[in-house]
Structure 1
């Protein structure tokens, strides 16, 4: 059974997140009469060749290092070669890197094409492809160049996760834990009652968790599409996570989010916002899923990277802190406070 979650868009029809058996019905979601061009990577193309070969397609590389303006430039050239115009519809089929790049290119080519996603990883289904943030990295800084622009649809077929490597599946669960901490206590508690293997093998459990997490995100996005206020709560754990990703290359994004979330739980407890026992619960839930809660990177190195986070203003950085399980708030820390984090988190 399909779950359809609609997200209101300014000046247009709602964006739809469809969770369920959607892979065979992609054509039903494409605009009639429009030329569709798929953007994907070689690995996804190999796995879903029969589907992708029905359309004109462009291949990009794999890995975080290709999420750059150079890749966008390559795609602009390929779109021109294929005669893409304002009526062309782009479909990103892949994980978060593919969907980020597709959304960015679609939003900027000829001042904007319509686009949609088929999300093939758990991280993409729960977070990366949902909400309309599209961007590329620049000079080592994550998503520093980008747009806010909602896709027409995001298709989340859970059967595509059957072949997802275990490490990537765990990384996707980190974003679901994060969603529970932001605004759904019941969702978080699923991770205290169930094992990693339960989420891996119980389709009904995973569907429930994924749907709850997507609703947390879409409810916030509807109220604050362009991240002027409440949407910043979705960055829980990400301020530290982006610093971790800049300082080292040993972690997947979801793993860095898990570490960043554990650090925020400890910081929230130190500041008296979160009961100490709840901070322990957060770390235990993440560890229960086999996720890391420590980076091994010197905190002074991380604080230096924090000062260049895209969520900073002239002399401060916004941190999303926990006020309880399922509750959070935003506090800005000036650079002097950030310099002292090594003492607070020691």
Structure 2
């Protein structure tokens, strides 16, 4: 097992990479309540059935206020008090919902995560962001609150469809593109071993991605500076995810290509970078383009959390491993779609 300790303002969170879900009792108190989805519960429920379990439907559709209300009702039925501990066991949807619920129920409960997807282990569970979609806009309501721990059991990834592993690789590529040239080279050489779930390579990839994101979060928890770089590919990507119903990884893959195309015009990025990244994403099995209604995508982008007045703080690439935040006017951005 490899461990990362994230200390933000004296609040310490531990990321446990390679720890087993079977050891859950080492990290949670007796008054633990599990939030998970029905798929995870059906496969791994025996590992946590000693605790009360609240199940939700799997999928992005569950990230809505109706789900939150239902969980609140069940917590009240369970007589959860302010000493209760919430643990979210699942992918990004479950951890987003669990963190949001724990952060606002009775003004805040302690909580932790057991991330069961590659996307969850390298991105969604790390950094303290949580929330739900509202009025058709992704993650419109939410908080920033750090979990007590994030347990990443690599063996859980063996139950995933291969498509979900590829989706996770989109966020891993993004992290390397904005902050670590050498890591990008490592991914190019080893992505096939990630897809085949080679344990040693998988552990290294998850550890390095989690370490980078943790360090960014430590420096800028509230997303006022460097943490904004992690939004690379997400401004257009989130809009495509909402409008086209793409998976997160698919949408971010296309969003990164769009951002690189804009970078060529705005920052004089070498066009060879576009071909290098495009080739890697295609080899991973991720889409790099889709036909879409530019009007609908633009409307979704206008509602983006990164918009200030009539500008969006857009993350562009200066080179592989180097990114920059550039303010782009809404009207100018429309022309790039």
The bucket for the TM-score relative to the shorter chain is over 0.9
CA–CA distance in structure 1, aligned partners of residues 232 and 135 of structure 2: 23
CA-to-aligned-CA distance 1:99-142 (integer Å, 9 cap, x gap): 00000000000000000000000000110111100100001100
From the superposition, tell whether residues 86 and 161 of structure 1 become closer, same or farther in structure 2 (CA, over 3 Å).
same
From the superposition, tell whether residues 280 and 160 of structure 1 become closer, same or farther in structure 2 (CA, over 3 Å).
same
Q: Is the 8 Å Cα contact of residues 273 and 324 (structure 1) preserved in structure 2?
A: no
Are 1:288 and 2:283 counterparts? yes
CA deviation after TM superposition for structure 1 residue 198, in Å: 5.1
SS of the aligned residue for 1:317 comes to strand
Query: 295-304 or 69-78, which moves further after superposition?
Result: 295-304
**Which residues in structure 2 correspond to 1:174-185 (within 5 Å)?**
174-185=170-181
Q: Is the 8 Å Cα contact of residues 193 and 201 (structure 2) preserved in structure 1?
A: no
From the superposition, tell whether residues 195 and 214 of structure 1 become closer, same or farther in structure 2 (CA, over 3 Å).
closer
CA deviation after TM superposition for structure 1 residue 318, in Å: 1.2
SS of the aligned residue for 2:159 comes to coil
Q: Is the 8 Å Cα contact of residues 199 and 205 (structure 1) preserved in structure 2?
A: no
CA deviation after TM superposition for structure 1 residue 194, in Å: 3.2
Q: TM-score, normalised by structure 2?
A: 0.97
Are 1:146 and 2:142 counterparts? yes
Are 1:258 and 2:253 counterparts? yes
**Which residues in structure 2 correspond to 1:77-92 (within 5 Å)?**
77-92=73-88
Q: Could you say which residue in structure 1 is the equivalent of 2:298?
A: 303
Query: 148-157 or 289-298, which moves further after superposition?
Result: 289-298
CA-to-aligned-CA distance 1:232-278 (integer Å, 9 cap, x gap): 111111101111012111x1111111111111111111223421111
Q: Could you say which residue in structure 1 is the equivalent of 2:133?
A: 137
Structure 1 residue aligned with 2:321, among 322, 326, 331? 326
Q: Could you say which residue in structure 1 is the equivalent of 2:103?
A: 107
Q: Could you say which residue in structure 1 is the equivalent of 2:197?
A: 201
Are 1:7 and 2:2 counterparts? no
Q: Could you say which residue in structure 2 is the equivalent of 1:339?
A: 334
CA deviation after TM superposition for structure 1 residue 77, in Å: 0.7
**Which residues in structure 2 correspond to 1:144-293 (within 5 Å)?**
144-197=140-193, 199-249=195-245, 251-293=246-288
CA–CA distance in structure 2, aligned partners of residues 188 and 11 of structure 1: 32
Q: Is the 8 Å Cα contact of residues 166 and 195 (structure 2) preserved in structure 1?
A: no
CA deviation after TM superposition for structure 1 residue 197, in Å: 4.8
Number of corresponding residues: 337
SS of the aligned residue for 2:269 comes to coil
SS of the aligned residue for 1:39 comes to strand
CA–CA distance in structure 2, aligned partners of residues 66 and 24 of structure 1: 27
Query: 267-276 or 79-88, which moves further after superposition?
Result: 267-276
CA–CA distance in structure 2, aligned partners of residues 166 and 316 of structure 1: 38
Q: Could you say which residue in structure 2 is the equivalent of 1:313?
A: 308
CA–CA distance in structure 2, aligned partners of residues 171 and 99 of structure 1: 17
SS of the aligned residue for 1:194 comes to helix
CA deviation after TM superposition for structure 1 residue 205, in Å: 1.1
SS of the aligned residue for 1:91 comes to strand
CA–CA distance in structure 1, aligned partners of residues 44 and 197 of structure 2: 22
Instruction: Provide runs of 4+ in structure 1 moved above 4 Å.
Output: none
CA deviation after TM superposition for structure 1 residue 172, in Å: 0.5
CA-to-aligned-CA distance 1:11-46 (integer Å, 9 cap, x gap): 43x111110132221111124xx5000000111011
CA–CA distance in structure 2, aligned partners of residues 263 and 255 of structure 1: 13
CA deviation after TM superposition for structure 1 residue 300, in Å: 4.2
RMSD, matched Cα: 1.3
CA-to-aligned-CA distance 1:179-238 (integer Å, 9 cap, x gap): 101211122112322353554232111111111111111010000001111111111111
SS of the aligned residue for 1:17 comes to strand
Q: 5+ residue gaps in structure 1?
A: none
Q: Is the 8 Å Cα contact of residues 67 and 137 (structure 1) preserved in structure 2?
A: yes
